[in-house]
Amino acid sequence: MDLRILLDIARKSILTSFDNSLLLNKEFYLNNFKDLNKISASFVTLTIDERLRGCIGTLQAKKMLYDDVFDNAKLSAFKDPRFKALSYQEYLKIKIEISVLTPFKKLDYSNMADLKEKLIPNKHGVILRYKNANATYLPQVWEQIPVFEDFINSLCAKAKLDPSILDETPDIYTYEALKVKE
């Protein structure tokens, strides 16, 4: 599948919030791009001048790819709790990146050295789960945090966990992503 069609869907999804008269022809997309009918999980990341402006996604496939991207684009623009709602002026400046995720798999590991050996930077997205806390980093986060210890400690902080919980071998899951960006 040509992933660039996902960028078109995401951009137009956000634009419909600024112009209520604009409607996407969902049937056109689904009839002409069959992969959009597949149940898939995606993340939509928005940046302005290479700085994060919103990122929302789903880790587990529950909807058709078309709907998942459409919904996550709007959520990234208007409902990411880290940011205020995107303005139209910002919309004109955003760059969109979409990641279509593979199903995640639990990673068996015995300690941090074993985990470090099994995680593959720039390939693995990582989910950390411990009790009621969890967080994920997409594979491309390795580009900003390439050192394993920094990456895993930052993931703990994102989950609002102290890195000392790593000694208790919390659940770690990995996934991969096909990505496309403007």
Residues 81 and 13 in one domain: yes
3-state SS class at 140 = coil
Phi, psi of 133 (to 5 degrees): -105, 145
End-to-end CA distance of the chain: 16
Q: What is the pLDDT of residue 24?
A: 87
Q: Are residues 66 and 119 in the same domain?
A: no
Which pTM was predicted? 0.88
- Per residue in 74-92, pLDDT (tens digit) is 999 999 999 999 999 999 9
- Phi, psi at 111, each rounded to 5°: -165, 180
Q: What is the pLDDT of residue 22?
A: 85
CB atoms within 10 A of CB 146: 11
182 within domain boundaries: no
> Which residue range forms the structural domain that includes residue 55?
4-101
d(CA 112, CA 125): 17
The answer to whether residues 97 and 73 belong to one domain is: yes
Q: Is residue 129 part of a domain?
A: yes
Distance separating alpha carbons of residues 146 and 66, to the nearest angstrom: 32
Q: Do both 38 and 64 map to the same domain?
A: yes
